[in-house]
Every structure is written in structure tokens, then in C-alpha cells.
Chain A
Amino acid sequence: MLGHAVEDSPDERRKRLIAHHPQPAEQARAEALDLAIHGLERTRPEMSARRTLVGWQRSAMAVTCAVLALGFAMQPVLTGSILISLLVALYVAAMVERSVVFARGLRAVEFLIRRPLPPMSDEELPRYTILVPAYREAEVVGHLVESLGALDYPPDKLEVLLLVEEDDDLTISALLPLDLPSFARVLLVPASEPRTKPKACNYGLHFATGELVTIYDAEDRPEPLQLRRAVDAFRRAGPRTVCLQARLQYYNARQNMLTRWFTVDYTTWFAIFLPGLASFGLPVPLGGTSNHIRAESLVAVGGWDPYNVTEDADLGIRLVRSGLRTGIIDSVTYEEANSDGLNWVRQRSRWYKGYMQTWLVHARQPVRMLRELGPHGFVSVTLLTGATPLLSGVNLLSWTCTIIFIIGTPSSLAQVFPAPVVYFGTAAAFFGNATVVYVSLIACRQTHQGHLAWAALTYPLYWVLMAVAAVKSLWQLVARPSYWEKTVHGLARAGPG
């Protein structure tokens, strides 16, 4: 019994795993870890989110807060009116921008209609590396073998790197009994801070041998032909297109109302909105997985930012700022929709926090950002990454004001809403909400998911959760900017299969 206990200690399990999956030499590991954590900070310090705010941003924020405080103390009605007018203007701008991109996305989708994959011999296929960061993913890591086995790609040209934190005993234990394919190996990431997915991916990238690199999560179920479709798309696209985003979709959409709303959200985003952005040549905030990138270009732009909690969105913008482009491929990766409210709030708050981090990083040099992205790109990035979390958070306040206005009609509230703002805001609220619901319905229809129509019609209820996540993200941006809120997977009633 004692012997068994000793044999089953975390240290023993790690040793057994290393026996099956030999690790690089210690020096190479240390070098890779150093580059994973500090690489971007050293080469392009202005692009690193290690510091949330730079000097002038901190001063600007302090001045803004002081002016607001002074305004509310001396002229509360006027200050409130100005603030509300600005927020309404921001709402309207975001609504117009989204509508334009969505309309473009609808047309772009027509070009994405699945083309037959041209025949490609195995010899002409490039070497492909799949990075699978897995931290505390014991529940879903078992599905990985099945998903990897289903991929239609020559094994000798495929490399799968499972990136596991070396002190993550749960995942190591779950991996031990698995019979991984020959092209898959486990890389143990040395335990270090920040404990983020991009750090693990940078570590894996250091040892990757593929010409093309992609990321899948442990619970992902990519379409078997996805890698071949990406190779074909890269060949057809110009040399500036170095990144391709596949569409993410959920396999447990029908589990509960939250998964239905989440699926509507994802469908609108990946099936219509991102193709619209790509079609305009605007920066595409990449999804967390299934983005296929030329390894050489990825290394050239500095890899992922280990301090940014939406490193994917940041990378998408950085690529465009480097003169490169992102395309969209019509291939689906199925993921698990978060079915638990609290878990969802944690995940979404991380995304919102990352969006704000990303905007703050790129807006450090606003003139350069404007020059590199162009006016439309500048506005798009600002509204998508900077304004989205802000407006989601302000939603709580505006709903409360609306309820108080309807029930109590307090005169003080009426004073800070000048008539033009009331009419403009009411129109924006009505048309904006109706537009989002309508757009969601179209996206469901376009992707043949008619069963989500009810979820699309009740979509505004989902925004309450978004508002909670936005408030949480604002708080965390100040308190714990690089803290990675771990999303618990494996909650789907029926796992991937």
C-alpha cells in the first residue's frame, strides 16, 4: 500500500511521463522559457501588456478622473449630461460600425461557400505543428486522442505538442494511461509566472518544427480536413496573408439556455462578423483556437504576448500593424460551450479584460497606430476592443436608469437627460437592440441553426451576464491585469464525439 502510494506521488507520475515523452535539455528549456516570458518585452516593449498603462496613459486617466470628480462636485447636472451624451454617441458609433461590418460579412460569406478541396499529394503538404495547451484539463484530455486521430493529414508531416504545466498533476495523471499517436508528444512547461496560455504557446513554438502552426484546446473537435483546407487557402491567398481563422462552433448548443445564447453569440461573431472584418482588410481579433499561422511570420512579430489574457486578439491586431493580413476559412472546429453561469462570467470577464489590455497596449502610440491601421482600422479596433467591454458595463447603469425613469420619474434623472439625448438614446436603444437581435437571427438562419431562433429573440437577457462580466473585467484590469481566469471544461452533458 505504501509502495503504491510512493509510486503514485506527483513526482513519480511526472517521471513516468518524462520516460514516455523525453523533454529537451535543461538549458534549452530554460532558454525557451525565458523567451516565452520575456521575448516580446525585449524585442517590442511597446507591444507588451506587462504594464497595463504607460506614463502618459496614467496621467490622462488621472486627469480625466479629476475633471469628472470636479465636474460632479461643481456642476453635477451638466457633467452628467455631457457624460451621458458621450456614451450615447459611443453606442451609436459602435452600432453603426457593427452594422456596416455585418452587412459586409453577409456578402463575404457568399465567397466562403465551401469549395471542393483540390487534390493534394502528401508530399506537397508542409509540416504542420499543432499546439495544445492543457492546464487542469483532466476532464477533457481523454477526448484529445480521438480528435487528433480523426485529422486527415500525413502523420510524418504532423507534430502535436501537448503543453502541460509540469506541476499540473491532474492533467499529467489523465495523460499517463492514454495511448497518444506517434506524432504527439508532451512538453512539460516549467512552472513559472505568468501562468497563461500564451506563455505555454510561446514555449511550444520554440520547439515547433512545422512550417505552419495552429492551436487547439484539449476539448476541441476540428473538422478532419481543416489542416488541408488551411494549406489550400494559404496557397490561394497572397503572401501577405499569414494567418487563417477557422470558424468556432459549439457541439453542446442545446444543453441549456446559456449554451444556446453563447452559440448565437459565437455564430454571429465567427460566421458573419469576422468574415466582414477580414473582407474590409481590418484587424481580426482571432479566436482562442483554430488560428493557422505561418510559423516564420509568427516568430517575426514576436509570438504571443504572455501577459495579455486575450493574446489571440492582440496577435490579430499586431499582424495587421506589421503589414500582414488574416483570412477566414470555411472550416469548423467544435468546442464546448460554457454551460454554467459563473464559469461563463469568469471566461467572458477574461476576454473583456484582455480586450481592454489589448486596446491600451496598441493605443500607447496612437499616431503610429492610426498610421499603421488606417482610419477605419483605428476606429474598428477602438470600438471592438476598447468600447465593447466599456459599453457592456455601462449597460447595467443604463438599464437601472431606464427602470428608475419608468417607475419613479425622478426629476433629478430627467435633468441629466437633455431632450435630444433622450430621443437619440431611445432611438439608439430601440434600433440598436432590435438590430442585434435581427442580426443574430440572420446569422442563425445563414448557418442553418433554426433551432436557435428563440435564443436569438431572447438574446438581450444574455447581455445581463455580459454586463456582470464587464464590471468584473474592469475591476480585474486594475487589481490583477495578467491573472488568467481558468475556464472549467468538461461540463457538457455529452462530450465531444
Chain B
Amino acid sequence: MTGRGLAIDRRSLAGFAGYVVVVCVACSSSIRDSIGQSAVDPLPAVTLVAPLATLVALFSWRVPAATPRVQDPETDIILSVPPLLLGVWLVYWGPRKLGDQFFLFRPDLIGLFLVSVALASLLLGARFAAGAARSLAACALVCCPVVQLSVAGIDPGALRVAAASTLACLPLVVGLGRSWPRLAVLLVGGVAAGAAVGALAASITPSPSAAGFSAATTACAGAFFVHLLLVPSSPRVLVPLAVTRLRRIAVVAVVAGSVGLLDTLVPALSLAGPARPRPPLSPRGRSQLEIVRPGVAVRRWVVAMPLVPSDHALVVTTTGPSAAASLTYPIDSLLAWPDPVCPTRYVVRSDGLDVAVSLYTSAFTGYRWEEFEWGWSTAAGYQRVDLVVSSSPAGNGLVFPTLHPEVVLDALRTSTDFVANRQVDCGVLPVPPRETGATLEAFLAAAGTR
């Protein structure tokens, strides 16, 4: 390589390093949330491995040999504007639109992907952005809890470990698949080997999940190192960085700073929790089901309480170390209503809590359910509470929604609910019925959490 080539490479390296720093600044909050959740996500370690795989894919990207050195600064800017605006809009809009389901779908990760592509186009050119888009999109997808939930339900465990390993390496495989076909094959082989080791570990250790994921992570990391060892042996140019793009650094800094500020506000916008910690709700009466997964406990029980219009209520609590961990679990879809019903929704504020209320009425049987949802910080972590009060026509017994622990189906159902809810909500009540507040206050008093 000539001295000039080296100089170009150094600039490219500097530009690439700058790009990584800028993206990390712009999306620091989302990245921090992801890393914080990695211990309790449905697939531990995947959320950590996937960004690493993305970084390696970006680092190893190069212009295919047959591609002309056509660069076009005007196109770079034009292509960066729509994803940037869309990404910012998603970060801003996501929490408002999704409410407490925000942490299930994590639209900020899609926003992160779009902002990263926009910044790549601005800093390193549209050609690099187009090449990087696959890896970045795969990373956003892999880190999304609703996708991981689908895989987390796979049984047996060995298959789940294999799927998780492949998922974790997806950004690397799709990113290098075309430009480095032999390495992509090597990586897939490495992942398969890791999955096999993981499956073996899962079958012989008392903690199969942790052992499996550890083995898979190690295998993925090994594949990265093999890749890193092989890449320098061939002539390469990291990124064909034009010097003129460095002049855009002021614009990029402003953009990244603004996005970062907005991103920092995401958790604050999306969570409606009380200011002071409360004692956690504990099971009373007949506990009907208990689901425990790493870091999160879901419990369902029916309590007898002096509530209007019924003297019984169904309570489902989801308790985890953080709001993100608790809200990731798709409890909404786990509650299966006896009849297909169309809810009316409203929000009440009671004792410092913002409570979302959904009113379900069955036109066929006359049953009526009120579902109260809220979240609060407790000594045991963050707890999400779903309270269902049922009333029935005279003479009929009470019917509560059932809880189905079918994670894959539930994740899919939640996704479709999310899409469909915009259409099937029967309406939003601006002023809640008076008895709603009374029911809630009675419950909180009886539960001893006031």
C-alpha cells in the first residue's frame, strides 16, 4: 500500500471512529437501556452480542472491487434527511403512541437504526450508509424484545440456544454476506458450532439457559476474532472517506446532540409511575398461576374484595428489576378474553397514579370487564399491575380472562393487537365514569398500598 493509500486509510479510520462515537452519543439512552436490559431480556446476551456483531460488520465493510469510486455529496445529504426525520419522529412519537408497551416494541431502536444510517450517509457517504444499513437494521431487529420473545418460546432449549446464536450473529452475517462470502460461511459455521456447544452445555448443566447462552456468546466472539485475524491479510479500504465530509462535522454534531437529547427523554416520556416507592402487591387468596423467567415474575390470583360492581377481582402482577424488564413481558396478550370484545379506553388519575382503564363489554353474554393497568416502583423492583373487575348478568357466575403462557403466540398476538388496536378501539372516553375511581381506590386501600 502506498503512503497516500495509508493516509486515506487513516482518514477513513478516523472518520469511522468518529461515526461510532457520534452514533453512541446520539443514541446513548437507547443503547444504555438495551445494555441494562441485557441481563433480563428474553434472550440474555443476544442484546450484547448483536451490537458487537454490527460493529465488526461495519468495521470490515469495504467497497466491492467492481464498484466505481463514484461519490456524490449532494446525494449523501438528500439520502440522510428522510431517515433522520423519520428516526427523530419515531423516538418522539413511540412512547406516546405505545404507552406502557413501549418497552415491548422498542421503536427507539428503529429510530436508532434510521439515525445511524442518516449519520453514516452524512459522515461516510451514501455508499457506506447503504452497505451498513443491512447490519444496522438487523441489529435493531435482533435487539427488539418482541422478536426475542418469539425465539424465547422455542422448545427444546438446545434449539432455542441455536436460534439465539444465529439471531445474535445476524447483523454480521447479513452485513458481510455479499462482500465476504467465504467469511460469512465461516461465521455461520462458527455460530453453528457455538450452538452445538451451547446445546451440549444446556443438556448437562443445572442452569441450561445461562450455560447455553454463554457458550453461544463465546462462539460468536470467537468467530469475530477469526474474522478480525483474516481481514488484515487482504488489501482493503475501510471507508472511502472524502475529506470534504469532515466539514460537515458541525452539522453532524448539532444533529447528534438534538437526537441524543430527545432520546434521553424517552424513558421519562414513556413511564407513568408514582413519585414515591410503594410496597409491592403480594398474592392474596387463591394464586392460580405463576410464571418466572430470568429476572421477572408474573403472578395471577383472584381476590375477594368489596369492590363495585363485583366482589371479586383478578390481579396479575409482573415484577422485575426495572421498568423496562417488567413492561417487556406481553401481559396484555396473555389475558385472553372469553368473547371477542372491543374496548373503550380512558385514563384516570388516582393517588398519584396514572391508570389506564379498558372497558370490555360482550354483546353476546352481557359480561362486562374493567381492566386497570398501572406501574409503580416498589421495594422489589418495578411492578406492573393489571386489575380486572368482572360483572355478569344476574344469576351467572363470574368469568375472568385466562392467562396463556404461550410466548411465541403471545408475541405474535401482541404484534397484531398493536396493529389492530388503532382500528378496534371502540372509542376513548374523555371523562371517566365516576365509579371507576371509587373501585380503584377501594382496591388500593384493601391491598394496603396507599
Q: Which residues of B contact A341 (CB under 8 A)?
A: 130
Are the C-beta atoms of A346 and B75 separated by less than 8 Å? Answer: yes
B431, CB-defined interface residue at 8 Å:
no
Q: What is the distance, in angstroms, from B91's C-beta to the closest C-beta of chain A? A: 14
Known: A468-B79, A471-B78, A491-B66. A342 touches B71 (CB 8 A): yes
Are the C-beta atoms of B97 and A408 separated by less than 8 Å? Answer: yes
Q: Which residues of B contact A471 (CB under 8 A)?
A: 78
CA distance A476 to B72 in the complex (A): 12
Are the C-beta atoms of A491 and B422 separated by less than 8 Å? Answer: no
Smallest Cβ-Cβ distance to A343: which chain B residue: B70
> Which residues of B, 62-110, contact A by the 8 Å Cβ criterion?
66-68, 70-72, 74-75, 78-79, 82, 85-86, 89, 93, 97
Are the C-beta atoms of A343 and B74 separated by less than 8 Å? Answer: no
A345, CB-defined interface residue at 8 Å:
yes
Smallest Cβ-Cβ distance to A469: which chain B residue: B75
CA distance A479 to B68 in the complex (A): 26
Known: A400-B82, A408-B97, A468-B79. A345 touches B68 (CB 8 A): no
Are the C-beta atoms of B67 and A340 separated by less than 8 Å? Answer: yes
Are the C-beta atoms of A472 and B74 separated by less than 8 Å? Answer: yes
Q: What is the distance, in angstroms, from B67's C-beta to the closest C-beta of chain A? A: 6
Q: What is the distance, in angstroms, from B97's C-beta to the closest C-beta of chain A? A: 7
B176, CB-defined interface residue at 8 Å:
no
Are the C-beta atoms of B422 and A409 separated by less than 8 Å? Answer: yes
Q: What is the distance, in angstroms, from A458's C-beta to the closest C-beta of chain B? A: 18
For the complex, count residues of A whose C-beta is within 8 A of B: 20
Q: Which residues of B contact A396 (CB under 8 A)?
A: 82
CA distance A340 to B71 in the complex (A): 11
B127, CB-defined interface residue at 8 Å:
yes
CA distance A340 to B68 in the complex (A): 8
Are the C-beta atoms of B82 and A342 separated by less than 8 Å? Answer: no
Are the C-beta atoms of A472 and B66 separated by less than 8 Å? Answer: no
A207, CB-defined interface residue at 8 Å:
no
CA distance A43 to B12 in the complex (A): 52
Are the C-beta atoms of A342 and B66 separated by less than 8 Å? Answer: no
Q: What is the distance, in angstroms, from A253's C-beta to the closest C-beta of chain B? A: 17
A77, CB-defined interface residue at 8 Å:
no
Are the C-beta atoms of B82 and A475 separated by less than 8 Å? Answer: no
Known: A341-B130, A409-B422. A476 touches B82 (CB 8 A): no
Q: What is the distance, in angstroms, from A17's C-beta to the closest C-beta of chain B? A: 26
Smallest Cβ-Cβ distance to B90: which chain A residue: A407
Q: What is the distance, in angstroms, from A350's C-beta to the closest C-beta of chain B? A: 12
Q: Which residues of B contact A488 (CB under 8 A)?
A: 68, 70
Q: Which residues of A contact B252 (CB under 8 A)?
A: none
> Which residues of A, 331-365, contact B by the 8 Å Cβ criterion?
340-343, 345-346, 349
B45, CB-defined interface residue at 8 Å:
no
Q: Which residues of A contact B89 (CB under 8 A)?
A: 404
Q: Which residues of B contact A346 (CB under 8 A)?
A: 70, 72, 75
CA distance A475 to B77 in the complex (A): 11
> Which residues of A, 388-438, contact B by the 8 Å Cβ criterion?
396, 400, 404, 408-409
Q: What is the distance, in angstroms, from A439's C-beta to the closest C-beta of chain B? A: 28
B331, CB-defined interface residue at 8 Å:
no
Q: Which residues of A contact B127 (CB under 8 A)?
A: 342
Are the C-beta atoms of B70 and A340 separated by less than 8 Å? Answer: yes
Known: A408-B97, A409-B422. A345 touches B75 (CB 8 A): yes
CA distance A404 to B89 in the complex (A): 10
B170, CB-defined interface residue at 8 Å:
no
Are the C-beta atoms of A342 and B93 separated by less than 8 Å? Answer: no
CA distance A445 to B161 in the complex (A): 50
Known: A346-B70, A491-B68. A408 touches B79 (CB 8 A): no
Q: Which residues of B contact A342 (CB under 8 A)?
A: 70-72, 75, 126-127
> Which residues of B, 112-129, contact A by the 8 Å Cβ criterion?
126-127
Q: Which of A341, A342, A343, A396 counts the most chain B CB atoms within 10 A?
A: A342
Flag B176-211 by CB within 8 Å of A: 1 or 0 each.
000000000000000000000000000000000000
Are the C-beta atoms of A476 and B74 separated by less than 8 Å? Answer: yes
Smallest Cβ-Cβ distance to B75: which chain A residue: A345
Q: What is the distance, in angstroms, from B72's C-beta to the closest C-beta of chain A? A: 5
Q: What is the distance, in angstroms, from A249's C-beta to the closest C-beta of chain B? A: 22
Q: Which residues of B contact A476 (CB under 8 A)?
A: 74
Smallest Cβ-Cβ distance to A400: which chain B residue: B82
Q: Which residues of B contact A404 (CB under 8 A)?
A: 89
Q: What is the distance, in angstroms, from B218's C-beta to the closest C-beta of chain A? A: 38
Known: A342-B126, A408-B97. A475 touches B68 (CB 8 A): no
CA distance A409 to B96 in the complex (A): 13
Smallest Cβ-Cβ distance to B71: which chain A residue: A342
Are the C-beta atoms of B97 and A472 separated by less than 8 Å? Answer: no
Are the C-beta atoms of B75 and A472 separated by less than 8 Å? Answer: yes
Smallest Cβ-Cβ distance to A346: which chain B residue: B72
Are the C-beta atoms of A343 and B93 separated by less than 8 Å? Answer: no
Smallest Cβ-Cβ distance to A406: which chain B residue: B422
Are the C-beta atoms of A345 and B422 separated by less than 8 Å? Answer: no
Are the C-beta atoms of B68 and A468 separated by less than 8 Å? Answer: no
CA distance A334 to B82 in the complex (A): 36
Q: Which residues of A contact B130 (CB under 8 A)?
A: 341
Are the C-beta atoms of B68 and A472 separated by less than 8 Å? Answer: no
Flag B118-159 by CB within 8 Å of A: 1 or 0 each.
000000001100100000000000000000000000000000
Q: Which residues of A contact B85 (CB under 8 A)?
A: 400
Q: What is the distance, in angstroms, from A377's C-beta to the closest C-beta of chain B? A: 33
Neighbour of B72 across the interface among A345, A400, A408, CB < 8 A: A345
Smallest Cβ-Cβ distance to B67: which chain A residue: A340
Flag A473-487 by CB within 8 Å of B: 1 or 0 each.
001100000000000
Q: What is the distance, in angstroms, from B415's C-beta to the closest C-beta of chain A? A: 14
Q: What is the distance, in angstroms, from B80's C-beta to the closest C-beta of chain A? A: 11
> Which residues of A, 443-497, contact B by the 8 Å Cβ criterion?
468, 471-472, 475-476, 488, 491, 493
Flag B336-355 by CB within 8 Å of A: 1 or 0 each.
00000000000000000000
CA distance A346 to B71 in the complex (A): 10
CA distance A341 to B67 in the complex (A): 10
Q: Which residues of B contact A408 (CB under 8 A)?
A: 93, 97
Q: Which residues of A contact B70 (CB under 8 A)?
A: 340, 342-343, 346, 488
Are the C-beta atoms of B74 and A475 separated by less than 8 Å? Answer: yes
CA distance A130 to B75 in the complex (A): 35
Q: Which residues of B contact A468 (CB under 8 A)?
A: 75, 78-79
CA distance A349 to B78 in the complex (A): 12
CA distance A475 to B73 in the complex (A): 12
Smallest Cβ-Cβ distance to A344: which chain B residue: B70
Smallest Cβ-Cβ distance to A476: which chain B residue: B74
Q: Which residues of B contact A475 (CB under 8 A)?
A: 74, 78
Q: What is the distance, in angstroms, from A348's C-beta to the closest C-beta of chain B? A: 11
CA distance A346 to B78 in the complex (A): 12
Q: Which residues of A contact B82 (CB under 8 A)?
A: 396, 400
Q: Which of B68, B71, B126 counts the most chain A CB atoms within 10 A?
A: B68
Q: Which residues of A contact B75 (CB under 8 A)?
A: 342, 345-346, 468, 472
B positions within 8 Å CB-CB of A:
66-68, 70-72, 74-75, 78-79, 82, 85-86, 89, 93, 97, 126-127, 130, 422
Q: What are the 8 tightest A-B residue pairs by CB atom distance, in nearest-first order? A: A488-B68, A342-B70, A343-B70, A471-B78, A345-B75, A472-B74, A342-B72, A468-B78
Given contacts A340-B67, A488-B70, 10 further A-B contacts (CB under 8 A): A340-B70, A342-B75, A345-B72, A346-B70, A346-B72, A346-B75, A400-B86, A468-B79, A475-B74, A475-B78
Give 25 CB contacts A-B under 8 Å: A340-B67, A340-B68, A341-B130, A342-B70, A342-B75, A342-B127, A343-B68, A343-B70, A345-B72, A346-B72, A346-B75, A349-B74, A400-B82, A400-B86, A408-B97, A468-B75, A468-B79, A471-B78, A472-B78, A475-B74, A475-B78, A488-B68, A488-B70, A491-B66, A491-B68
